[in-house]
Amino acid sequence: MQKTGLVLSACARTWKSVQMASSGVARRNPLENKVALVTASTDGIGLAIAQRLAQDGARVVLSSRKQENVDRAVAALQGEGLSVTGTVCHVGKAEDRERLVATAVKLHGGVDILISNAAVNPVFGNIMDVTEEVWDKVLDINVKATALLTKAVVPEMEKRGGGSVVIVASIGAYSPFPGLGPYNVSKTALLGLTKNLARELAQRNIRVNCLAPGLIKTSFSQLLWMGKEREESIKETMQIRRLGKPEDCAGIVSFLCSEDASYITGETVVVGGGTPSRL
């Protein structure tokens, strides 16, 4: 008797919240009025993410290490009518990280979104072969710089009452790509960094999630798939019989930064065409 009453009153609550959600539907520009920083975003996955965030309403500040690449990407996206500016940033340098944040604050008054796309050049090599210098470079840029850039951005997010971070890892974090040892290990570290940051930042209303792309057809990954024969043999092993495109990674990142993902933090989403990764 009492149980029935409880159920009914819970149903009533559900109905009320459903109705509130359905009134005021306005998901056309889910990132409207948001300011987004995207690193390593003048090519490949980073560029596709920058483009998508801008299409979804964000004002985007893109960046990479070379001015000419920044200029080209900004021009291209502005040519599509998108709100995009850019600045040179080597994420391994403290002054560059600070300048990146300062640029967004100066231009747009703050930062709401950070997409940390690791920027180290593809470092091929097995762990048994690479030198200490390779480890230094890969861990510095892929792991340490991601942590420090987040640390630099968080105070700005707090001023805005919260924010969203997405870290770009790789499916190699779960199932190593052959010949990319230190790279794979650094990406595994990012899975942990995501969990740790999510925990530390939840009370500040900042969510932290992670994207793990599979084999995406970019200039970065071309040594893995280049060659008709190799590409065909790779496809044979995939469930969805094509390599991924940069755009395949962009929608989920925008989603994770939107209000729709407000109860999702500390999670990694794999975009891998069904490639085995984890349960």
Q: Find the binding residues for its own copies in span 173-202 (CB under 8 A).
A: 173-176, 178, 181-182, 184-189, 191-193, 195-202
Q: Does 144 sit near its own copies (CB under 8 A)?
A: yes
CB of residue 192 vs its own copies: minimum separation in angstroms? 3
Please state the φ and ψ torsions of residue 142, each to the nearest 5 degrees: -80, -35
Give the binding-site size for its own copies (rule: CB under 8 A).
Answer: 107
Interaction of residue 76 with its own copies, rule CB under 8 A: yes
Amino acid at 110: G
Tell me the two tokens of residue 97: 């990280």
Nearest CA among 212, 208, 209 for reference residue 184: 212
Among 150, 165, 168, 224, binds its own copies (CB under 8 A): 150
- Using CB under 8 A as the binding rule, the residues of this chain from 5 to 64 that contact its own copies are 6-7, 10-11, 13-15, 17-19, 21-23, 25, 27-28, 43-44, 47-48, 51-52, 55-56
Of 128, 228, 229, 236, the one binding its own copies by CB under 8 A? 128
Confirm if 64 and 57 have CB atoms less than 8 A apart. Answer: no
Q: What is the rounded distance in angstroms from the CA atom of residue 250 to the CA atom of residue 255?
A: 9
Given a contact cutoff of 8 angstroms between Cβ atoms, the answer to whether 172 and 183 are in contact is yes
What is the Cα 23 distance to its own chain's centre? 31
Of the pair 1, 106, the CB lying nearest its own copies is at: 1
C-beta of 35 vs 138, nearer to its own copies: 138
| Contact string 222-241 vs its own copies (x = CB under 8 A) | x---x------------xxx
Token pair, residue 261, equals 């993902």
Residue type (1 letter), 138: V
| Separation CA 154–CA 136 (nearest Å) | 25
Tokens at residue 9, please?
């009153």
Q: Which of 146, 183, 189, 198 is catalytic?
A: 183
Q: Please indicate whether residue 183 is annotated as part of the active site.
A: yes
Q: How many CB atoms lie within 10 A of CB 95?
A: 9
* Interaction between residue 75 and its own copies (CB under 8 A): no
Q: Does 163 bind its own copies (CB under 8 A)?
A: no
**Considering the rule CB under 8 A, would residue 117 count as an interface residue with its own copies?**
no
Catalytic machinery residues = 183
